[in-house]
Amino acid sequence: MERWKYRQAQALACCLVLAGCGNVGSDRVEWTTMGTVAALQTRGAGDASKVKALVEETKSVFGGVELRLNAHCPTSDVSRLAALPQADVLRLCAAADRPCYEAAFKLMEASGGAFNPRWRGPGTLDLGAIAKGFAADLAADVACAGGIDALVDLGGNLKAARSSSRPWRTGVKDPSGNGFAAVVELRGGEALATSATYFRGSHIFDGRTGRAVTNGVASVTVLCESAMWADGLSTTLFVLGPEEGRAFLAHMTGSGQVPGGAPAALWILDDGRQVKHDPNCRFRH
């Protein structure tokens, strides 16, 4: 699991939107929220007032998610529900946030607790490893409803609005600092998220033990159709490592538990080796 409020430095360096090849003529607005940097990148919107309104709506979406799902705030919804059993959490949580709770519990069960929203112990509940992706999905839906070609970036959780007419080109940072390890073109409706330890050392915790993960993995990047699932899966696959992680991903895909088809994943190990689960060759060098 990843700590919510300390993720900024790591996330900003993991997935970077590259200039050129589909990103030409785009405008980017940045601000801080949820303990990290958020950005909205748009292309061909034309009307500046339309973009400004979308930025304000996106800020509102992110602020609402932080207000409700920040485990470090004692008055948030997630803190209020923390002591309850899973069934009661799902019954009493806000309907709009239920997909995030459901995905977190589903990942916990499927991974044997490697992903664990209760990793801090009984009576706790922490959605920090999945809530940013959830918020990115909501914001991308707002852009799509307005017909705007947009890319949402929340601390490295990227989501291309379904209204995007061309792919958005983004790079996955090489943990050794030598540029980019891979390049991905995000199509409309697709998302990308990375979990990594560089810059801040071990900060990702094995939900089964509550201890920092030290398994030789430097980063994991996941591509799928949901930023929420990309966010949660990147943490899960980091904890599991490439061998167990590929088997887990195949099981999740085969059982239809991840919406939108087969996710792709890229592990980069501490020694520089790369391991992929990428049947459609989406990670390119």
Q: Where are the domains of the chain?
A: 4-277
What gap in Å lies between CA 166 and CA 247, rounded to an integer? 32
Give me the chain's average pLDDT, please.
90
The reply to whether the predicted model has a pTM over 0.75 is yes
The confidence band for 13, taking pLDDT boundaries of 50, 70 and 90, is very low
193-206 pLDDT, tens per residue? 999 987 555 678 99
For the chain, what is the total number of helices (H) and then of strands (E)? Answer: 7, 13
Q: DSSP strand E in 8-140: where?
A: 15-17, 26-33, 36-43
- 152 phi, psi to nearest 5 deg: -95, 135
What gap in Å lies between CA 171 and CA 266, rounded to an integer? 12
Q: Indicate whether 21 pLDDT > 70.
A: no
90-148 pLDDT, tens per residue? 999 999 999 999 999 999 999 999 999 999 999 999 999 999 999 999 999 999 999 99
Residue 87 burial by CB count (10 A; 0-12/13-18/19+): exposed, middle or buried? exposed
Q: What is the pLDDT of residue 241?
A: 97
Q: Report the topology of domain 4-277.
A: T-fold (3.10.520)
Q: Indicate whether 4 pLDDT > 60.
A: no
Q: What is the pLDDT of residue 78?
A: 98
Q: Which residues contact 134 (CB under 8 A, 6 or more apart)?
A: 65, 69, 97, 99, 100, 103, 127, 227, 228, 231
Q: Dihedral, CA atoms, 209, 174, 165, 234, nearest 10 degrees?
A: -10
- 144 phi, psi to nearest 5 deg: -65, -40
How big is the CA angle at 131 (ends 152 and 135), to the nearest 5 degrees? Answer: 30
Contact 164, 4 (CB under 8 A): no
134-193 pLDDT, tens per residue? 999 999 999 999 999 999 999 999 999 999 989 999 999 999 888 999 999 999 999 999
Q: Could you give the C-alpha distances from 280 to 16, 153, 195, 283, in angstroms and in order?
A: 21, 24, 21, 9
Closest of 174, 171, 150 to residue 161, by C-alpha: 150
Q: What is the pLDDT of residue 259?
A: 83
